[in-house]
Amino acid sequence: MNTTHHSLIKAAYGQKVDRVPVWLMRQAGRILPQYRAIRNKLSGFKELIKTPELAAQVTIQPVDELGVDAAIIFSDILVVPEAMGLNYNLVEQKGPSFPSTIETREDIDKLKVLQHDEDCPYVGQAISLTKQELNGRVPLIGFAGAPWTIFAYMIEGTGSKAFARARKFLYQQPVLSHQLLSKITASTINYLRAQVDHGASIIQLFDSWAGILPPDQYRTFGLSYIERICSAFPDVPVIVFPKGAYYARQELAEVDCRVVSIDWNMDPRETRDLLGDVKTLQGNLDPALLYAERSEVQAATKSMIEAFGRKRYIANLGHGVYPDTPLDNVKAFVDAVKEYG
């Protein structure tokens, strides 16, 4: 199914669109009653990810309910380390935890490189089912965590304010760090290739913990691996979301991606100046603003579009939508983009 006529894909390639496309990070999830109805019947979040029929169903829900211009496959960034051999537990509201973490060369050697489809076939299956159901209505976004973020979880074992253990590893074991990051990168390329082969039309790299590294380290241990992934996908637009790494924006202009997604701290006009005309920008409404009055949501969405401009732009939040956001305000956001955009 060719989806190049969709506004999201056209915007990613810098082509003219009739209207600014809009979607929300974490749009498939707890904000939707339809999602909660399915999720509450299951034993856990991972069961939902690993059941392609259900994953496809919740992936499509926001397209029907919110009228967004894209679907993003329902999954989790930590399926990659799991497929590499590092199992994790996911407790909603508490975040992920890894019973064992990576500490030594032997630990890294034991990890396997995720192979195309073999190691987490359920994601490809969910994508195929979703594509079939969507029937070309909107494009499907595939995604993965960026290597540094996956690395951070594999070393730290849980989410953390400072990821001091993961950052200690970078300083004390730079050679092993590169070895692990290379293995994660190879796995991620295979994983994303499988997603594209099954029908993802565009892919997003989530670098959720980009912002905790100093600029020189992010260059060495973050951006260089993102570059490797982007180079492996000349055929698909890539969205890079380097959350918090405001200092890396200028360097991102040189990275072979089509779209840079920015968080709510980053100024749209300043970011345009830094990145120039070569990238499409995505973002960046403060997810907490969706707790405000409807009229404030509408006004802020309009200001956001004016700040980014209608060209080379994909409307989104600056991070995932918070699970307890009032559904009406999510709709007000989407509708405001459609009206003004």
Question: With respect to a second copy, which residue has the nearer C-beta, 291 or 340?
Answer: 291
Cis peptide before 190 (omega within 30 of 0): no
- The 3-state DSSP class for residue 287 equals helix
Amino acid at 206: F
CA 169, 173, 179, 181 torsion: positive or negative?
A: positive
Q: Is 30 a catalytic residue?
A: yes
Q: Is 312 a catalytic residue?
A: no
Q: Are 238 and 203 in contact (CB under 8 A)?
A: yes
CB of 274 to a second copy, least distance (A): 12
Question: With respect to a second copy, which residue has the nearer C-beta, 90 or 292?
Answer: 292
- The 3-state DSSP class for residue 160 equals coil
243 to 282: interface string for a second copy, x by CB under 8 A: -x-xx----------------xxxx---------------
Among 13, 45, 122, 291, binds a second copy (CB under 8 A): 291
- Give yes or no for residue 288 binding a second copy (CB under 8 A): yes
In this structure, the number of other CB atoms found within 10 A of the CB of residue 303 comes to 13
Retrieve residue 33's tokens.
């009653």
Q: Is 19 a catalytic residue?
A: no
Pick the catalytic residue from 69, 117, 119, 153.
Answer: 153
CB of 324 to a second copy, least distance (A): 8
Q: Are 225 and 147 in contact (CB under 8 A)?
A: yes
- The 3-state DSSP class for residue 182 equals helix
Using CA atoms, how far residue 205 sits from 1, 311, 336, in Å, is 23, 22, 26
Question: With respect to a second copy, which residue has the nearer C-beta, 177 or 190?
Answer: 177
- Give yes or no for residue 229 binding a second copy (CB under 8 A): no
CB of 170 to a second copy, least distance (A): 7
- The DSSP symbol for 212 reads G
Among 121, 122, 182, 215, binds a second copy (CB under 8 A): 215
Q: Are 155 and 208 in contact (CB under 8 A)?
A: no
Pick the catalytic residue from 26, 167, 193, 249.
Answer: 26
Residues annotated as catalytic are 26, 30, 39, 76, 153
Residues that bind a second copy (CB under 8 A): 159, 161-162, 164, 167-168, 170-172, 211-215, 217, 244, 246-247, 264-267, 286-289, 291-292, 296, 318-319, 322
